[in-house]
A and B are shown apart, each in its own frame.
Chain A
Amino acid sequence: MDMVNIKINGMPMSVPKNYTILQAAREAGIDIPTLCYLREINEIGACRICVVEVKGARSLVASCVYPVNEGMEVFTNTPKVQKSRRLTLELILSNHKRRCLSCERNQNCELQQLCYDLGVEDESYFDGDNPETAIDASCAHLVRDNSKCVLCRRCVAACAEQGIGVIGTNARGFDSHIGCAFEMPLANTSCVSCGQCIVACPTGALTEKDQTDEVWEALSDPEKTVVVQAAPSIRATLGEAFGMPIGTNVEGKMAAALRRLGFDKVFDTDFAADLTIMEEANELVERIKEGGTLPMITSCSPGWVNYCELYYPELLPHLSSCKSPQQMFGAIAKTWYAKREGIDPKNMVVVSIMPCTAKKFEVGRADQSAAGVPDVDIALTTRELARMIKKAKINFANLPDEAFDSPLGEATGAGVIFGATGGVMEAALRTAAEWITGDPGAPVEFKEVRGTAGIKEAAYQVGDLNIKVAAASGLKNAAELLEKIKRGEADYQFIEVMCCPGGCVNGGGQPIQPAVVRNNVDLRALRAKALYDEDAGLALRKSHDNPAIQKVYEDFLGKPGSHVAHEVLHTSYQEQKGYK
């Protein structure tokens, strides 16, 4: 690699030629403050927070985009630099709705942090015109309040990175604002509800639609039996909201916290993930044997299902008819479990804790009411759960590790890994391999489909079948596979698609990490590791070995793909229309 010699604050160092000043400074142990910069997706040098002095340069330069060159001398923290950054912040504050105390992002706001770190003294120094901008709450999953927007464009970049691009900057100058084409509400566009814009937002301008009040309400209603399910990835991320290291598995504390919040039963979506595998692996084997539409594509990720319905309706027959684990859980809870416990499904409230904002949309989908009432009532994000735990003053870090309740809390390692890209594929292969070969010693680990690459491909010889599979995460990668299918070049039998890059561990409902963490730490890999580690340590790692699953089939469903299973666990898809 070609290196160049530079000096940062007088310290000589040698860095690769293709580095920016920002990267070089980080190697020198200095995190130059940034606001608009998100590595690889938003490198536009727009906000001017990251300015530094370069000897001989005419003016301050934006270090996030300025390349190093031989002999360069950089000063990252001179009075001139400090003054400029402070001035920029004061100007941003001049039309920022400074309601920090009631803001959802209070204490987790990059603007707030910068103002504190860089020593803004008078936040109303340039107090100016503060137009009350309209709030867009048209979607089930998100609220946009432009009066808290700093126009960093990180949300725009995140949306474009998904290949969606329904939000952008409209008008110019002081009128510039983030919006949709023709200022239409987001709900009229082809937004897939993935929420990647929310986790990219440095301030409180974009937030999930908070439904915690509905849950508090249900919990205090003596008529209602309130059961909760937590998605596979939540245990790998919830700890972050309480200051724990990224990748800490907090499964036991999470179950304990949910119990202390007052849920009547604390269950695990991993159970429903195992159930999904039973149905999905069966559907795959049937499609292969009976000449059904191939490749079959997973349908667990509601952002992905929205994408397929909006952008590739002609490929809907490829989608597995299985409901997602969230919905399967609700369906079983309100049918089999409710009957067993003598609870009227109308008096049961199913709350789910999801890594995902699109799950808020999914609960309202048609054909998802196995017991005549919606399978799931309220889908909360990881962030909303953390908020509830904080509000209830539960001492999360010191909670004992507790187990989920039985029977809908019993799961195998196959369910656990659903939270990472490739996990559903691997879980399905574990079961399909044993079913096809009839050999309980069939392999458990399919490592080729693990990892954070956008598209992963593998081929496996299972009995006399050669199964070719692919796993994509991030919709741009999914689109690549879909185009291949359309061109007739995809010879896979099975494809897993996850809407969010890296899968659910990086979902739009997960705890928000500031840009400095996102830019320098592989969140997806660290969080996924927590799940794979848990799987590796479990005795039961194949969905069909789950005794609770076996019981449900014995008592109620019969066998995978049975008539009852179709009634309760399967659904259908329709083309959706929205401005693109």
Chain B
Amino acid sequence: MQKRIGSLPFTGTPEQEAQLREAIARHKDEKGALMPVLQEAQEIYGYLPIEVQQIISQDMGIPMEEIFGVATFYSQFALTPKGQYKISVCLGTACYVKGSGKIFDRLSQKLGIGADDCTPDGKFSLEACRCIGACGLAPVITINDEVYGKLQPEDVDTILAKYME
């Protein structure tokens, strides 16, 4: 599946930009510097929006398209922001058989966003992931580092409510 490109406004801070430029300066003269720079950029911003890729392009002298090509080739790079609460729904075999698809749909409907998307307030992001190795708890979702297992679609409402305040 092709990656979604985020449409939420960019909210990077001057501190983040300074961090990014420092990371670029540190890697710039290495061979194959683009990968570690993109990894650090994603750590700093949580994703790689056009504004960030532009800074990398200018500072490293690499065309934007080349950077975008790398960012869309590797699944570790995201083009959409992660929310304050990052929800991952396991769609691995065991969870899927146990109905995680319905959990995903419920979350999607409740939050009003699709896969690889983030709510406009920046609170929740939603993504599907492959097996996280907790098949005994299928179907499983994670919210940041919390794991929720053996879910029914209705459970989604109470779980979300905890994070809503």
Contact A183 B69 (CB under 8 A): no
Given contacts A181-B53, A580-B57, contact A172 B65 (CB under 8 A): no
> 3 smallest A-B Cβ distances: which pairs?
A165-B63, A181-B64, A181-B68
Q: Can you list 5 A-B contacts with CB-CB less than 8 angstroms, sorted by A residue number?
A: A168-B66, A171-B2, A179-B65, A180-B68, A580-B57
In the bound complex, do residue B66 and residue A165 qualify as a contact, i.e. CB atoms below 8 Å apart? yes
Q: Give B71 Cβ to nearest chain A Cβ, in Å.
A: 9
B63 with A169: CB separation less than 8 A: no
Is B65 a contact of A175 with CB atoms below 8 Å? Answer: no
- B126-148 CB mask vs A (1 if < 8 Å, else 0) is 00000000000000000000000
Known contacts A170-B72, A171-B72, A172-B73; decide if A182 and B67 are in contact (CB<8 Å).
no
Instruction: Tell me the chain B residues, 45-75 only, with Cβ under 8 Å from chain A.
Output: 50, 53-54, 57, 63-69, 72-73
Q: Which residues of B contact A (CB under 8 A)?
A: 1-3, 5, 50, 53-54, 57, 63-69, 72-73
Contact of A580 among B1, B3, B64 (CB under 8 A): B64
Q: Chain A's nearest CB lies how many Å from the CB of B125?
A: 19
Give the CA-CA distance A303 to B162 in the complex, in Å. 59
Q: How far is the CA of A171 from the CA of B75 in the complex (A)?
A: 9
Known contacts A175-B1, A580-B57; A170 and B63 CB within 8 A of each other: no
Not counting A168-B68, A170-B68, a sample of 14 additional A-B residue pairs whose C-beta atoms are within 8 angstroms of each other reads A165-B65, A165-B66, A166-B65, A168-B66, A171-B2, A171-B3, A171-B73, A172-B73, A180-B64, A182-B50, A183-B5, A579-B64, A580-B57, A580-B63
Residues from chain A with Cβ under 8 Å of B2 in the complex: 171, 175
Rounded to whole angstroms, the CA-CA distance of A165 and B63 in the bound complex is 6
Q: Is A349 interfacial (CB 8 A cutoff)?
A: no
Nearest A residue to B5 via CB reads A182
Which A residues are CB-close (under 8 A) to B54? 579
* Nearest CB on A from B53, distance (A): 7
Would A172 and B64 be within 8 Å (CB), given that A182-B5, A182-B50, A183-B5 are in contact?
no
A interface residues, tally (CB under 8 Å): 19
Residues in A whose Cβ lies below 8 Å from that of B72: 170-172
Q: How far is the CA of A225 from the CA of B83 in the complex (A)?
A: 64
CB proximity of B157 to chain A, nearest CB, Å: 35
A278 vs B49: C-alpha distance when bound (angstroms): 51
Residues of B within 8 A of A171 (CB): 2-3, 72-73
Q: How far is the CA of A160 from the CA of B1 in the complex (A)?
A: 27
Cα(A181)–Cα(B64), bound, Å:
6
Contact yes or no, B1 A181, CB < 8 A: no
User: Which residues of A are found within 8 Å of B5, using beta-carbon distances?
Assistant: 182-183
B63 (CB) vs chain A CBs: closest residue: A165
> Is A167 an interface position by the 8 A CB rule?
yes
Chain B residue nearest to A179 in the complex (CB): B65
Task: Specify the chain A residue showing the minimal Cβ separation from B64.
Answer: A181
Residues of chain A within 8 A of B64, CB atoms compared: 166, 180-182, 189, 579-580
Asked whether A168 and B69 contact (CB < 8 A) given A181-B64, A579-B64, A580-B63, the answer is yes
CB pair A181 B65 closer than 8 Å:
yes
- Residues on the B chain within 8 Å of A579, using CB: 54, 64
Q: Give the residues from 170 to 190 in chain A that come closer than 8 angstroms, CB to CB, to chain B.
A: 170-172, 175, 179-183, 189
Q: Which residues of A contact B57 (CB under 8 A)?
A: 580
A112 to B76, CA, bound (A): 38
Q: 1/0 contact trace for A560-580 toward B, CB 8 Å?
A: 000000000000000000011
Q: Roughly how many angstroms separate A66 CA and B72 CA in the complex, as a whole number?
A: 29
Question: Cα distance A473–B158 when bound, in Å?
Answer: 67
Known interface pairs A171-B2, A171-B3, A175-B2; A181-B73 also in contact (CB < 8 Å): no
CB <8 Å contact, B50 and A170: no
